Chains A and B, each alone.
Chain A
Amino acid sequence: MEFLAFLARRLAWSLLVLVGLSVVIFVIARVVPGDPARMALGPRASAEQVTELQEKLGLNLPLYQQYGLFIGGLARGELGQSLLTERSVNEDIRTTFPATLELVLTTVFIAFLFGVPLGVAAARWKDSWPDNLVRAFAIVAAVMPTFFIALLLQVLAGYVLQILPTTGRLPTGTDFEANITGLLIVDGLLKGQFNIVFEAMRHLLLPALALSLATMGQMARITRASMIDVSRQDYMEAARAFGVPDRIRLFKYQLRPAFVPPLTIMGLEFASLIGGAFVVELIFSWPGMAAYGIRAITQKDLNAIMGVVMVSGVFFVLVNLLIDVLVGLVDPRIRIRGRRA
């Protein structure tokens, strides 16, 4: 029950964060630029045209009413009209978000799959060559600009070795509609079209790898530190004294509690992953929300920008709530005490 109360409290805070986020976005998009209608129409539009658009967008109302309209729209899940595509921003985001989601989820999967074992290995052989290697990798991965990794991988795997596709989600001309979840791998599996699954994975590999390296290094670093931390606990000493076999001590007694910090950090990493997706999607011509956001930004499409930033924020908050639940599942002490150790 304690844990449920903890989750309820976290949920309430999350709502508050979302409201705060909406205020920030509203201020950036509506208050900072002066006159969004003039901005959207450009300097050559007539005064009447500007007034007309202002009325259409509700820009002639006082600010608090405008915010009311904005938040009301958000509550109904409506993000307004995109000035550029002339479709609703909802529609645009619904069609582009799954591509970004699939990319980010694959990235997280790769980061965990390699990052955690690397960290475990580094802690197991602390201060010897595997440890030094992992630490060097973590530092270099952290300071590699995402766009640089992406370009490097694209050139190496795409042009030089020519083994992997370097653009898009599927080969051009593929006839497949991802209309169940929007995730190609999942939809491909559900529809039993395994060639689609295979192709989707091939296309995902390079962009996801580019996006995951920094996070992978981070995961290795955190896992290592946390494994070492746990290994110094008294109960680990006790387990050794009782003659519990190495493997059981490592995986059951040490890794499980040590897994909590990497999980929590992964939640925070989502913000930079979404930021990084902006760069990676552009380089790999990935038809995702980030690519849509970049276009919106260069064309000053305010509703679309607000929509993309808001969706990124909501996604971040939801992921972190989910991670709180996961952390509770991994570490029963947290489940019972109701807070993070």
Chain B
Amino acid sequence: MSDLTALSNSYQNWYRFSRNPTAVIGLIIVVVSILAAILAPHITPYPDHAGAFVDFRNRHQPPSWDHWFGTDNVGRDILTRVIFGLRVSLLLAFVVLIIAVPFGTIMGLLAGYFGGWTEIVIMRLTDIALALPPLIMALAVAAVLEPSLMNAMLAIASLWWTWHTRLVYSMVRQIRALEYVEAAETLGASKFHILFREILPNCVSAIAVKTSLDAGFVILVGASLSFLGLGIQPPTPDLGTMVADGAQGLPDYWWESMLPGVSILFVALGFNLLGDGLRDLFDVEDVR
């Protein structure tokens, strides 16, 4: 478990973080990916290839100086489409986590602090969610509604919050027995104050680690979803769809599926290394 100083001494933290090479590599990958996604129209070599562009004379070109990642079956530059595809992946992770993390955290705080029926209801809900793989849930929702990115995000978020609930719940169970919480109670602090000002700050570092690791895994789920044809609709570039389409050309046109695949791996790896680095920094061993 973390101590109170974990987040306060930022200079010292940064120094320790910067001495951990894999964590720094993770941070660089994450920052570069996010910047590349935001600046995609300005930094990609062929921005118009992100849409329904066709150039049959240049189809299936292997990686070269002009096309670092080669071209696809209608002659579009794959590097350009990978960078635009990052937007979809990162947006997915961002939206899922911006819903799931606060909601899951609050549920965990409530279940851990109040106990009784609150605890039973919330924790049984998380048990149910555990039995449903996010990918299958997203698939089922995509089937009954429209297969769209928004529905996929909502479906994934509707299960993902439970992981944060379980994490925060177990931490709150330990923290609420500590003397300083008891002291606050004795002084007559409100429940709201105790939950959000006394207990929550001690969970923040663990939540940060988990969120960073999660971002990578949400990206993977999203990529699987679009690989199965239920992600964002073409011609918007999407990494999972690119791998699926490119797989038709295996093994001759390997770059069309393998390089977008490696890109997904790369981004997910970045978030994972960053999360691992933060875990070492904050010393929260048991967060996965």
Contact residues of A between 243 and 293, Cβ < 8 Å to B = 268, 271-272, 274-276, 278-279, 282-283, 293
Say yes or no for A204: interface residue by CB 8 A criterion.
no
- Digit string of A137-160 for contact with B (CB within 8 Å is 1, else 0)? 001101111111001101100011
Say yes or no for B273: interface residue by CB 8 A criterion.
yes
B272 with A275: CB separation less than 8 A: no
- Bound Cα distance A272, B137 (Å): 11
Known contacts A17-B131, A20-B128; A155/B230 CB under 8 A: no
Query: How many pairs of residues, A versus B, come closer than 8 Å at their CB atoms?
Result: 143
Chain A residues, Cβ within 8 Å of B229: 298
Closest to A143 in B: B268
Say yes or no for A108: interface residue by CB 8 A criterion.
no
A147 with B243: CB separation less than 8 A: yes
Say yes or no for A101: interface residue by CB 8 A criterion.
no
A143 with B251: CB separation less than 8 A: no
By size class, the interface of chain B is 35 or more
Say yes or no for B185: interface residue by CB 8 A criterion.
no
Say yes or no for A225: interface residue by CB 8 A criterion.
yes
Say yes or no for A236: interface residue by CB 8 A criterion.
no
A28 with B136: CB separation less than 8 A: no
Known contacts A33-B145, A139-B276, A145-B261; A21/B128 CB under 8 A: yes
B227 with A143: CB separation less than 8 A: no
A151 with B135: CB separation less than 8 A: no
Known contacts A143-B265, A279-B224; A317/B131 CB under 8 A: yes
B134 with A275: CB separation less than 8 A: yes
A13 with B143: CB separation less than 8 A: no
- Bound Cα distance A139, B127 (Å): 26
Q: How far is the CB of B199 from chain A (nearest CB, A)?
A: 24
Q: How far is the CB of B283 from chain A (nearest CB, A)?
A: 14
Find the residue from B128, B221, B264 having the highest chain A CB count within 10 A: B128
Chain B residues, Cβ within 8 Å of A143: 216, 220, 265, 268-269, 272
Chain B residues, Cβ within 8 Å of A305: 140, 143-144
Contact residues of B between 108 and 145, Cβ < 8 Å to A = 124-125, 127-128, 130-137, 139-145
Q: How far is the CB of A37 from chain B (nearest CB, A)?
A: 13
Say yes or no for A302: interface residue by CB 8 A criterion.
yes
Say yes or no for B24: interface residue by CB 8 A criterion.
no
- Bound Cα distance A317, B131 (Å): 7
Say yes or no for A312: interface residue by CB 8 A criterion.
yes
Binding site for A on B (CB under 8 A): 124-125, 127-128, 130-137, 139-145, 216, 220-221, 223-224, 227-230, 240, 243-244, 247, 250-251, 254, 257-258, 261-262, 264-265, 268-269, 272-273, 276, 285
